[in-house]
Amino acid sequence: MNEQKNILFSEYDMDGLSLRNRVVMAPMTRNFSPNGVPKDYAPTYYARRAQGGVGLIITEGVEVSHHAASGYPNCPNLESNDAKKMWEKVVNEVHENNSSIFCQLWHVGGIRKPGMPPNPEVPGFTPSGYVRPGKKVAHEMSHEEIQELINIYSEDTKVCEELGFDGVEIHGAHGYLIDQFFWDQINHRDDEYGGTIENRSRFASEILQAAKSNTSENFKVGIRISQWKQQDYDAKIASEPHELNEFFQILKSAGADFVHCSNRRFWEGEFEPKGLNLAGIAKEATGLPTISVGSVGLDKDFIKLYAGDHKTQTVDLKTLHEKLNKSEFDLIAVGRALLSDPDWANKVQDGLEDQIIPFDRSFVENYI
């Protein structure tokens, strides 16, 4: 094994949390949790990826305990004793297999459609009533509702620590609620949660601060962000490097322990084709631990999955090794490749990349 691959599989100290390597399982919605309770297979599903060599697992999105958090069927939450017991089993299985695990806390915001169960009368919550630029189609949150949600994130973070998770990741990406506050094209508030980049980041900052203050010093609280939105793949929180640096500094000042930066293709620079990617910019701006993600090990990005072109081939990881070797970012999250092959990390480490099982849509539809 060459020196570059050794970096991918070297230990990493996330400010006191020791990870056996730099491989992260990316959060991926599975829709296998009727009534918010993960199915009995969930502990095995996550444990298989830990057994397969993943150093850190980030769960599928777990809905925060708010009546408008849900936007998709059969997603998990933390509200019932049955759900909590199942997540405790997941955590225990992952820890027994020498991996760490974070819970991703998620609120879909305006993505929620009218009539969505389990509370069909509840609208989608947004900063200003917009899901994309144009017409108001959802609920504009009051100041009191913002404060309520900050408290809910804080309380759910505490629940995660009590269940044994090593940390939480606040989902602030992909056009969901927190990202809707970031996005100036749909956040038109005229109070302290709208306007400048500092104000538009205030909701996320106060969630991070509240979650950190409600948990122990060693418990990790970080955030996932993206420039692109599922409503607009070309949208950006910040279109200039100095504004993006300011944004990341705000998250650091709020107490974020790490930043997980979502690219559709991790090898693409944010402002220049060969420049730093989003995670690289975050690391340079803050010095925080950073996670990169985006089509790792695959020959097409996830959007093709929803356009019928779902079959993939595995690809060379040379660019990944080069970026890690240059310390552009600290950790790399792997998504679809881990759905099709739980042993992806071990195979890469052992030089058996030609034996990796390629991803296709069937691995989304089944729970292996």
| Residues designated catalytic | 176
Residue among 156, 140, 246 nearest 193 (CA) = 140
CA–CA distance from 19 to each of 13, 47, 57, 101, 139 (Å)?
Answer: 6, 16, 10, 10, 41
Alpha-carbon span 248 to 288, nearest angstrom:
10
Alpha-carbon span 206 to 221, nearest angstrom:
12
For residue 253, which amino acid is it? S
Sign of the CA dihedral running 203, 209, 215, 221 = positive
Measured from the Cβ of residue 318, the count of other Cβ atoms closer than 10 Å reads 10
Chain-centroid distance, C-alpha 301: 16
- Helix (H) or strand (E) run with residue 25 in it: strand 23-25
Residue 13 main-chain phi, psi, to 5 deg: -100, 105
Q: Are strands 17-19 and 12-14 parallel, antiparallel or unpaired?
A: antiparallel
Alpha-carbon span 326 to 313, nearest angstrom:
26
Residue among 204, 212, 207 nearest 152 (CA) = 207
CA–CA distance from 268 to each of 262, 305, 319 (Å)?
Answer: 11, 20, 10
Residues forming beta bridges with residue 314, ordered by sequence position: 298
